[in-house]
Each structure stands twice: as structure tokens, then as C-alpha cells.
């Protein structure tokens, strides 16, 4: 079943509300040919509006859970390593605003900035759902509160080296993703594992937990 989606430019990842599909699913185990990597840590830096965090723990957990559902069959997993408040405003309009987030990025983790509004680079009033970004020698992901449930997973794909977008409906790295779970090709996943191993080797990421060896729990999505 397809999620709600519309065509968008390649400047950013689209905003939308995925179809809420009530379905109990089993998550496949990794192929025996794939040696799972240690789980990669994600720290969430959450924007605030009038002193209140714009998302709760359930929102964060749902994004992490979805990322694990997509990547787990390919030997990749993610663990929530921390959460803290974003010091800057939760509205990110310009590319300068995106750059400024680098000052709040932590070393050794995937920094996921959660903001109220993420503007398109060409039109800051036009909201997009997520963006992988590089500034000041750092890379991180930015996701809007009203993003798709797999937007974090998609942006992590860019963090793990995937450039551009697939035109295959249902592929995680496309604009036309499929709920309840989008897919990665083996070639995409293989390249992402290579990037993850490189980040672990260089220290850009530190090993989180041995989460990749466990299946995400059976759940209702
Ligand atoms: Zn993208």
C-alpha cells in the first residue's frame, strides 16, 4: 500500500502524512550472508515552542522503530543514544539556519534535529519533511515534526552515503515510499554498510549497542 505522496523537487524530502495502516507484521531477520553491525547511535536534538518540546518520546521511538524495521534485514540497526533540547529556534528556514545547527551537533552519533518547520532552500515558506545536511565539517539530519514516519530512516540513508533519489516506488530512498515498510535494495544496503563500517572505524560514529542482532519487536504500525 502506498503512502500519501506528491511529486517534489530534489531539493528536499517531501512533507506528507503517511497513511496510517493498522497492520501486524513480522520483521524479517537479516540474511545469513549479512553480518550485523553494532547498532548506530542517534541523538535527538528537539526543538521547543514556547518552552515545550515539539515532539514526545513516543514520536522519537516511532521514528527509530521504523528505521530499524527497514534496515534490520540488511544488518543495520539504530539505537536512541540521547535526547536534549535544541538551543536555537525550532524554525529552520534558510540554509544559514541549517548550517547553524552544526554548533549543536555532538560527536560520535547521528545527530537528528527535530524542528517545527524546515523550509525548502528555494522557498523557505515551503515546508519539507527532512534533509541530510553538511556544515562546518559535520553531517547531520534534520526532520520536521510533521514528517513521514520513515523520514528519519530516509535521511539516515543519505547520512550513510546514498546520493540522490531512487525512482522506484516503495524504495526508501525515493519520494514515493510505501507503508508500512519501505525497502532498500541489496546494493543500496551494501553501500550503506560500507559507509557505516567506515564511520565506526574512523570514530565518526561510535558503536551503540548490539541491537542489530535482535529483531525489532513485533508491533502494530
Ligand atoms: Zn532524500
Separation of alpha carbons 197 and 193, rounded Å:
6
Strand partners, 46: 85, 114
Phi-psi category of residue 85: left, alpha or beta, with phi > 0 → left and psi -120 to 50 → alpha? beta
> How much is the pTM?
0.83
Strand partners, 140: 133
Provide the residues around ligand 1 (an ion) whose CB is within 5 A: 13
Indicate the average pLDDT of the chain: 85
DSSP-derived 3-state class of residue 106: coil
Q: Rounded to the nearest whole angstrom, what is the distance from the C-alpha of residue 52 to the centroid of ligand 1?
A: 28
pLDDT at position 178: 81
| Burial group, residue 10, by CB count within 10 angstroms (0-12, 13-18, 19+) | exposed
Q: Is the pLDDT of residue 91 over 90?
A: yes
Beta strands in 110-169 (DSSP E): 110-115, 117-118, 130-135, 138-144
pLDDT, tens digit, 9 for 90 and up, residues 124-133: 899 999 999 9
Separation of alpha carbons 23 and 67, rounded Å:
17
One of 3.40.390.10, 3.40.1160.10, 1.10.3720.10, 1.10.238.10 is the CATH number of 37-202, namely 3.40.390.10
From the list 127, 121, 20, 37, the residue with the least C-alpha distance to 74 is 37
Which cell numbers hold the place of 82?
540521547
DSSP-derived 3-state class of residue 46: strand
Q: Rounded to the nearest whole angstrom, what is the distance from the C-alpha of residue 122 to the centroid of ligand 1?
A: 16
DSSP-derived 3-state class of residue 177: coil
Q: Rounded to the nearest whole angstrom, what is the distance from the C-alpha of residue 205 to the centroid of ligand 1?
A: 21
Q: Rounded to the nearest whole angstrom, what is the distance from the C-alpha of residue 133 to the centroid of ligand 1?
A: 11
Indicate the pLDDT class of residue 180, thresholds 50, 70 and 90. Answer: confident
Please report, for the chain, the start and end positions of each structural domain, with discontinuous segments joined by +.
37-202
Separation of alpha carbons 72 and 221, rounded Å:
16
Q: Rounded to the nearest whole angstrom, what is the distance from the C-alpha of residue 50 to the centroid of ligand 1?
A: 30
Separation of alpha carbons 132 and 154, rounded Å:
9
Separation of alpha carbons 124 and 119, rounded Å:
4
Q: Rounded to the nearest whole angstrom, what is the distance from the C-alpha of residue 129 to the centroid of ligand 1?
A: 9
pLDDT, tens digit, 9 for 90 and up, residues 6-41: 334 334 455 433 333 333 344 455 665 688 899 999
Q: Rounded to the nearest whole angstrom, what is the distance from the C-alpha of residue 24 to the centroid of ligand 1?
A: 27
pLDDT at position 33: 67
CB atoms within 10 A of CB 103: 11
Task: Please give the average per-residue pLDDT across 92-111, as a whole number.
Answer: 97
From the list 117, 98, 142, 115, the residue with the least C-alpha distance to 54 is 115
Amino acid at each position: 500500500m502506498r503512502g500519501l505522496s506528491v511529486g517534489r523537487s530534489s531539493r528536499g524530502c517531501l512533507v506528507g502524512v503517511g497513511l496510517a495502516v493498522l497492520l501486524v507484521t513480522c520483521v524479517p531477520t537479516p540474511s545469513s550472508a549479512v553480518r550485523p553491525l553494532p547498532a548506530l547511535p542517534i541523538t535527538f536534538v528537539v526543538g521547543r515552542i514556547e518552552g515545550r518540546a515539539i515532539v514526545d518520546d513516543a514520536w522519537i521511538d516511532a521514528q527509530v522503530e521504523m528505521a530499524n524495521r527497514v534496515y534490520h534485514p540488511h544488518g543495520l540497526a539504530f539505537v536512541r543514544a540521547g535526547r536534549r533540547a535544541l538551543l536555537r529556534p525550532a524554525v529552520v528556514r534558510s540554509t544559514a539556519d541549517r548550517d547553524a545547527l552544526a554548533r549543536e551537533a555532538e560527536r560520535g552519533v547521528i545527530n537528528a534535529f527535530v524542528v517545527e518547520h524546515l523550509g525548502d532552500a528555494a522557498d523557505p515558506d515551503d515546508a519539507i519533511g527532512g534533509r541530510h545536511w553538511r556544515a562546518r565539517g559535520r553531517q547531520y539530519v534534520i526532520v520536521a515534526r510533521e514528517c513521514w514516519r520513515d523520514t528519519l530512516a530516509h535521511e539516515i540513508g543519505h547520512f550513510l552515503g546514498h546520493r540522490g533519489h531512487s525512482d522506484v516506488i516503495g524504495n526508501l530512498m525515493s519520494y514515493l515510499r510505501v507503508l508500512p515498510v519501505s525497502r532498500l535494495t541489496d546494493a543500496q544496503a551494501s553501500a550503506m554498510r560500507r559507509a557505516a563500517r567506515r564511520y565506526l572505524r574512523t570514530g565518526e560514529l561510535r558503536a551503540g549497542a548490539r541491537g542489530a542482532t535482535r529483531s525489532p519487536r513485533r508491533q502494530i504500525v
